[in-house]
Structure 1
Amino acid sequence: MERASIITQVDRKEEHLSPLRWNPGSARNLFATKSRGRNILRSLFCCFSTQNVGQFPEGSKHPVPPEESNTVSKSNLPQDIQCQYSRIPDTCLLPEIEPQVAGRLCLVIDLDETLIHSSFKPISDADFIVTVEIEGTMQQVYVFKRPYVDKFLQRMGELFECVLFTASLAKYADPVIDLLDKWGVFRARLFRESCVFHQGSYVKDLNRLGRDLNKIIIIDNSPASYIFHPYNAVPVTSWFDDLSDTELLSLIPAFEGLSQVEDVYTGLERLQPS
C-alpha cells in the first residue's frame, strides 16, 4: 500500500462555494443555488483501482469495500438521484442513541479538508504529528487544524449527536481524532470500511447509519461523498492552508438554527448563500 492511500483527500482545483448562513425568512431551496456542480477530481491520497471494488450486496447495484459486509437497501427518493436508499437496514453502522444526545439531530462530519489537512511532507509548524505503520515502516503524518475548528466542534457537540465519518483508513484517522477531539464530541467514528465504493469514490451512505434520514445532516467538502443523499448535505470548501479561513466559524449560526428543526429537508431550505 502506498503511504498516500491511507488518507482520502481532494485536489486543490475545486470551484469555490459561497459561505452559508441561516435565513429563517427564506423559502428558496439551497440546492437550486448549488446545482452548478463542482468538478471533483480523484483523490490524490486514495486508491481507485478496480481491485478495490467489493462484492455487490444483495438487492444493490453498488458494491461495498471488500472488508464491509453490511447490506444496502434500495431507494424510493428523487429519480434524479440514482443511488439512494429508503429504509434503515437490519444491520446499522451506529449503536443505539445515547441518553445524553437523545432527541438531537445526527450531524455527520468529515475529517480531511473539512476539519484538518494532513501531509507526509515534514513541516515544522504542524498542529500535531501522528505516526502510522505502512508496510512495516513507520511514517509520520503532519496535521494542520482548520481555523476555528475547536470552537466549531465544541459547539456542535452541544447541539447534535456528532459522528465522525471519513473515507480515510482508521489507522491514520483514529489517532488524529484522538488529538483533535479533546472534548469527546464524536459519539462514534466511521472509517473507509463503512463507505460504499461507487464509481471510483468512497460514498457515505447515510441510510446505513441507523437514524431517520430526515434527522441526519452531513457536512463534507466532497460532493462525491454524499452523492446518495445530497439533500442532507451542507457543502463546505476544501481547506488546505489558508490561515484567514473563517468558514467553520461562519457556519456555527447556521447549525444553531438547524439544530432546532424537526425535519432537516425543511431546515436546509433556509440555508442560503450570503
Structure 2
Amino acid sequence: MAAATEVYSPTPAAPHREQAAWWAVVGWLGLLLQVLLRVIRGAPSSLAKLLRSLGLRHPLLSAAPAVAFVQLPSKAPADDLPPLSPPPGRLTVVLDLDETLVCAYESSSLPATVRTQAVEAGLHCFDMEGISSDKASMWPSFPPFPMILLLSSHFLKKDAKGRQRVNHVTVFERPGLHEFLQKTSEFADLILFTAGLEGYAKPLVDRIDAHNRFCRRLYRPSTVTTEYRDHVKDLSCLSKDFRRIVLVDNNPYSFLLQPLNGIPCLTFSAGQPMDDQLMRVIFPLLKRLSLQNDVRPALHDAFHMPEWFQRNGIPQIDRAIRQDRKSTNLESEHRKWRRKEDFSGIKYSS
C-alpha cells in the first residue's frame, strides 16, 4: 500500500505544470478568438499573416494573392476624358404651307357636308377673311393633285369696279400641327416657305403660329421660275451650305433645284381626318436627320428624288450637287452613311 501511495502521490512540481497547461489553453483560446474576429471582419490577408507569424501555412491562403482595396476617385480628372466631337448645328427645316400644314377652301364653295364631317371626325378648323388689291391668284399655280378641292382662281381681289372685296376662307389644320411645330422647334430652326402671296398667307400663319416658332417667312416673290416649272423653291436664298437644310412639301416640283434636300409628304385635305403624316412620319424622320452631318445621303436613299425627276422628263439640274462636288465627294459620303443608318422604311413614288 505504501508503494502505491508513492507512485500516485504528486511531486512538488506538479502544481506548476498544471498551471502552465491552463495558461497554454487560455492562450490558444485567445488566439482562436482573435482569428475568428478577423475572419468575421473580412480580413483574410491579416489571417494569413498571423498564421505565418505562428509558423503555420494554409494552402488556400498562401496561394491566394493579397487583395488591396483602394478608394476610387469620386470624379475622373478632366484631362483623362477623351475629347468629344462637336455635335452638328441645328437643322434648318423649311415647311410648305398649303396642303402640307393646312388646307383651305373658299367658304362659299365648300360644301356644308364636307365641313361637318371633317369637324365631327376631329379636324380643327377656323374661318378667316382678307382684303387685298392683288389681281393675281393668291394660290400656287401648281397642277392640282388627286382628291384636292381647289379654291377659286382668285382668293382676294377687286370687284369689277376696282373696289377691294372681302373673301372668306375656311382653313383646316393638319392633325398634330401644333405638337409638330413645338417639338420640331426644339432641335431645328423652322422657316415657312409658301408659293402663296403674303396677303393670304400672312394672316393664316399668324393664326397657326401664335408662339412665333417660324424664324422666317418666305412668300411667292421668293420663288423662282425655271425652264420646267414656275414657283420653284430655291434653298440657296436661305443657305449656301446644303448639308443641314431640308424642305418638306407635298409638291415634289418644289425640290427641283435641290432634289436631295426634299422630303415629299402626302397631300392633306379636309377629307382625311385620320391623317398622321406630321407626327408619325415627318417628325421621326426630322429627328433622325438632325443627328446627321449631311442630310442628303439619307434623303437620297429614302426618296430617290433625282431619279424621280428623270423619270418625269426633267434632267438632273441639282445646283447643290454641282456646287458641292467642287469641294467634297458626295457619293463617298453616301456610302459612309449607308453603313450607319437606314431610312429604307420611308419611300416615295410618283
Name the CA distance, whole Å, in 2 between partners of 1:211 and 1:149: 29
Q: Does 1:220 align with 2:252?
A: no
Q: Identity, % of aligned pairs?
A: 34
Partner AA of 1:166 in structure 2: T
Contact residue 127 and residue 145 of structure 1 kept, 8 A: yes
Native 8 Å contact 1:156 1:185 kept in 2: no
Q: Tell me if structure 2 keeps the 8 A contact 1:104–1:161.
A: yes
Q: Secondary structure at the match of 2:257?
A: coil
Displacement of 1:215 in angstroms is 1.5
Candidates 222, 229, 238, aligned match of 2:267: 238
Matches within 5 A, 1:242-257: 242-250=272-280, 251-257=282-288
* Structure 1 equivalent of residue 21 of structure 2: none
Q: How far 1:201 sits from its partner (Å)?
A: 2.4
- 2:91 matched to 1:105? yes
- Structure 2 unaligned regions, length at least 5: 1-87, 132-156, 159-163, 302-341
Residue 3 of structure 1 corresponds to which residue in structure 2?
A: none
Unaligned stretches of 5+ residues in structure 1:
1-101
Q: Do residues 178 (structure 1) and 206 (structure 2) align?
A: yes
RMSD of equivalent CA atoms: 1.8
Distance 2:201 2:171 in 1: 11
Q: How far apart are residue 211 of structure 1 and its match?
A: 4.4
Is residue 97–residue 192 contact of structure 2 (8 Å, CA) maintained in 1? yes
| Cα distance in structure 2, aligned partners of 1:155 and 1:267 | 21
For 1:267 and 1:185, locate their aligned partners in 2 and report how far apart those are by CA, in whole Å.
26
Q: Retained in 1: the 8 A contact 2:229–2:253?
A: no
**Contact 1:201 1:225 (C-alpha < 8 Å) held by counterparts:** no
**Native 8 Å contact 1:201 1:224 kept in 2:** no
TM-score using structure 2 length: 0.47
Alpha-carbon distance, 1:172 to partner: 0.6
**1:7-32 residue CA offsets vs partner (Å, 9 max, x unmatched):** xxxxxxxxxxxxxxxxxxxxxxxxxx
Paired with 2:284 and 2:259, the residues of 1 have a C-alpha distance of 21
Q: How far did 1:105 drift?
A: 1.6
Letter in 2 for 1:138: V
Which residue does 2:188 correspond to in 1? Answer: 160
Q: How does 1:1-274 map to 2 (within 5 A)?
A: 103-122=89-108, 127-133=125-131, 134-135=157-158, 136-198=164-226, 199-241=228-270, 242-250=272-280, 251-268=282-299, 269=301, 270-274=342-346
Task: Please give the per-residue CA displacement for 1:221-245, whole angstroms capped at 9, x wherever unaligned.
Answer: 0011111111101110101120011
Tell me how far apart the structure 2 counterparts of residues 272 and 164 of structure 1 sit (CA, whole Å). 28
**Deviations 1:93-126 (CA, angstroms, capped at 9, x unpaired):** xxxxxxxxx9312111000000000010345656
The separation in 2 between residues aligned to 1:130 and 1:211, in whole angstroms, is: 37
**What whole-Å deviation, never above 9, does each CA across 1:166-190 have from its counterpart, x for those lacking one?**
0000111111110001222100000
Structure 1 Cα separation of the partners of residues 343 and 92 of structure 2:
17
Structure with higher Rg: it is 2
SS at match of 2:231: strand
What's the secondary structure of 2:171's corresponding residue? strand
Which secondary structure state, in structure 2, belongs to the residue aligned with residue 224 of structure 1? helix
Aligned residues: 173
Tell me the equivalent position of 2:152. none
Tell me the amino acid that sits aligned with residue 264 of structure 2. P
- The alpha carbon displacement at 1:220 in A equals 0.3
Cα separation, 2, equivalents of 1:187 and 1:211: 18
